[in-house]
Amino acid sequence: MLDAIKTSQNYRWYVLATVAIGTFMATLDSSIVNVALPTISGQFHSDLTTLQWVVSAYLLTITSLLPVFGRIADMFGRKKIYTLGFVMFTMGSVLCGFAQNIWFLVGTRVLQAVGASMLMSNSAAIITAIFPPKERGRALGFTGSVVALGSLTGPALGGLLIGFTSWRAIFFINLPIGIIGYFAACFILPKDLPSKDNESFDFTGAFAFTFGMIFLLLGITNGESWGWLSVPVLASLVLGIVSLVGFVFTERRVQHPMIDLSLFRNRPFLIGNLSGGLSFVAMFANNMLLPFYLQGILHYKPTQVGLMLMVFPMVMVFVAPVSGHASDKFGPIILTTSGLAISSLGLFYFSTLPATASFIRIIPGPILMGLGSGMFQSPNNSSVMSSVPPQKLSIAGGINSLVRNLGMVIGIAFSVSLFDVWGGVTLPQPSQVQGFMSAYHSVMLVAMGIAFVAALISYNRKSYAKSN
């Protein structure tokens, strides 16, 4: 049967399906924990500032290691790194499920994220190598939809699993999926040979980038709890910025840079990544706080929360393919700009919800968010990937993943900081409900503004080059 698959005219689509397993699993776990945070908070007696590290440590590790593993795979073989990614991710997931305290959970999430970065850094490159130019845009657009769908399905699926079993199930479910993905990668992915060009690995750039991202995001994430003017936060921000500036200078000098910064001179590439990153900042501001509103204020059970949050990805599943197909005919500008505008409207709607909202009253919010995200993601990914020459598609895909994860991390840290500044309490007592709602509404209005700015930026991408 495996020989039949490899000789089939549809072999490239089997490869795409295999890559989609790893991509979906890795992005799913960037958000599936969100809905479990109130439950984990009660069991481990942790506040929101500590809890956010369960999500942020995962995203921070991926963001720091994406370009590193992408470069390693280019040198030593993508299939080898991709299959190892399944092993690391599955092992980390099982250990997460056995966690007995909050910091062990954070540590095993880091291990999980190392595997996820191996998967995510190579998905675009594997697809690029197997698909002809005329189908590449559609395949990469599909991958982009899988990424967004994985990120947005997490809270919904997590709520259902927690409701029927326990919060540990959101990690154990990765065991069978990881095993299937590993064997599929071993037997279906094409063999690739390591680079024989004697290219050197940019150790200086890799260290500067990883060090810079860790300290920059460490300062952003802990700004509220440690104090924005405290020595640790200021030191983290300064070290992070200095390291990233050093990284830029290093990449401009070395013969084989880890990230090709010249791509950012490409206007559609720059605009697409900037608007995409901001869209994830806005979405994850809501993703982080909405489960606390549904459980802490409206007293929904995890199963009910899961059903509510399922509305978003269900709408997106129907809208994204239509939007992707339409962008091939009409270009991405109208679709991406309109999608971000609709997302902005959805965030505004969330800012109007009262502390006694009914199930029906809430539903328009996730519908608007799913519609807006579905309209935006596929055309934007297609625009970004179609704006670069074929020989740079792998690098462009890695940067696109990097920007997306950076947006998630900033969105989480930003929303938690603002929520705390404005007096929000994660699991409020009856006397604290008004303070929670005021803080939640304010954060949603800020997220609305970010999505609207992203729409304005998206409208200015101007040109669009289709794949040949």
Average pLDDT, 10 consecutive residues per value, the chain (468 residues): 69 89 83 79 80 80 82 80 93 94 92 90 78 70 72 76 87 91 90 63 81 83 77 92 90 78 85 93 88 87 79 81 78 90 97 91 93 87 76 70 81 84 77 89 96 94 50
Q: In terms of DSSP H, where are the helices of 98-228?
A: 102-120, 123-130, 133-164, 169-172, 174-188, 203-221, 223-226
Counting every residue written for the chain, the total comes to: 468
pLDDT, position 466: 45
Rounded CA-CA distance 342/89 in Å is 35
pLDDT, position 415: 87
pLDDT, position 32: 80
CA atoms within 13 A on the CB side of 158: 27
pLDDT, position 234: 92
Rounded CA-CA distance 146/163 in Å is 25
Rounded CA-CA distance 46/36 in Å is 13
Query: Other C-beta atoms within 10 Å of 296: how many?
Result: 21
Closest by CA to 189, choosing from 245, 229, 129, is 129
Closest by CA to 326, choosing from 315, 316, 334, is 334
Rounded CA-CA distance 211/216 in Å is 9
What is the pTM for the complete model shown?
0.77
